[in-house]
């Protein structure tokens, strides 16, 4: 994983728009008045959502002033956590898990596919500016390694061929069905369930995560800044 550095090209200014400001003020009320700096992670997320899924330095300074917090402390948080994007990302933003289970199962073959099909380096937009990729730490789907997160959804049990097929589908304007790509229902053993067979007989067509993704059809919608933030949601989904 490469060293995380802010983009060389930065906007001069950043301000919360009216919707983001409303959410930010609501979040701050959840903390004691002398502990409002604890809201820094949530406010970074809001800024990222507003700014096409990446956080410029101007946004960090804005948040510092908003929370009466030194800019360097905001910078430290934003540069530590990989969920905050320090560079512009594509409409199709691919996060490749390369932690041990995924690495053993071939994650770096997926990285090589990203280098060949998208861009040579992390945090670089593809030639058509539609796609970018990054290596990340564990995404929590170790039983389905190797896997990637595209937009908000997981694509699991990948091979290079299956991964490249997903990239082609996105390039053609399609949203491939997320979840396991090898026929598994969820995270059961490859040989099938060893218990809970009654559940298997009566289960839905998709596991809960995949079923919700198919229903919402918002795999990539959350990447952009055009979708309004729900001010009533504390975690801002």
Q: Do domains 1-87+226-237 and 92-219 have the same CATH topology?
A: no
In whole angstroms, give the CA distance from residue 221 to residue 226.
8
CATH assignment, 1-87+226-237: 1.10.10.1590
Whole-number Å distance between alpha carbons of 68 and 66: 6
Question: d(Cα 3, Cα 92) in Å, to the nearest integer?
Answer: 22
Residues of the chain with pLDDT under 70: 1-3, 221-237
Under CATH, domain 92-219 is a member of which superfamily? Glutaredoxin (3.40.30.10)
Q: In what order do the strands lie in the sheet with 131-136?
A: 131-136, 92-97, 148-150, 153-156, 179-180
Q: Are 60 and 75 in contact (CB under 8 A)?
A: yes
Cβ contact 22:194 at 8 Å: no
**Which tens digit of pLDDT belongs to each residue from 74-109?**
999 999 988 899 999 998 999 999 999 999 999 999
If you ran DSSP here, which 8-state letter would residue 182 be given? Answer: S
Q: What per-residue confidence (pLDDT) applies to 229?
A: 42
Cα–Cα distance measured from residue 131 to residue 115, given in angstroms and rounded to the nearest whole number: 12
Work out the burial of residue 103: count CB atoms within 10 Å of its CB; fewer than 13 is exposed, 13-18 middle, 19 or more buried. middle
Q: Name the percent of the chain in helix, strand, coil, to the closest 5.
A: 40, 10, 50
Sorted by where each begins, the domain ranges of the chain are: 1-87+226-237, 92-219
Residues in CB range of 124: below 8 A, 6 or more apart: 132
Phi/psi class of residue 45: alpha, beta or left (left: φ > 0; alpha: ψ in -120 to 50)? alpha
């Amino acid at each position: 994983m490469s060293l995380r550095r802010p983009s060389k090209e930065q906007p001069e200014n950043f301000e919360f728009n009216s919707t983001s400001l409303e959410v930010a003020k609501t979040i701050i009320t959840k903390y004691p008045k002398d502990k409002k700096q604890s809201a820094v992670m949530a406010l970074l997320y809001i800024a990222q959502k507003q700014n096409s899924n990446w956080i410029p330095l101007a946004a960090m300074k804005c948040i510092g002033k908003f929370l009466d917090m030194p800019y360097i402390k905001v910078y430290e948080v934003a540069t530590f956590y990989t969920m905050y994007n320090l560079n512009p990302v594509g409409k199709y933003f691919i996060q490749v898990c390369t932690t041990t289970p995924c690495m053993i199962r071939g994650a770096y073959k997926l990285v090589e596919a990203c280098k060949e099909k998208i861009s040579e380096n992390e945090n670089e937009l593809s030639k058509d500016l539609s796609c970018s990729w990054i290596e990340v730490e564990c995404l929590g789907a170790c039983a389905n390694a190797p896997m990637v997160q595209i937009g908000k959804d997981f694509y699991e049990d990948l091979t290079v061929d299956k991964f490249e097929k997903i990239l082609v589908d996105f390039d053609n304007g399609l949203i491939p069905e997320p979840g396991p790509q090898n026929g598994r229902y969820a995270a059961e053993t490859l040989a099938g369930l060893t218990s809970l067979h009654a559940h298997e007989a009566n289960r839905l067509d998709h596991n809960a995560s995949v079923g919700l993704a198919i229903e919402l059809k918002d795999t990539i919608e959350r990447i952009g800044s055009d979708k309004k933030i729900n001010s009533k949601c504390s975690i801002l989904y």
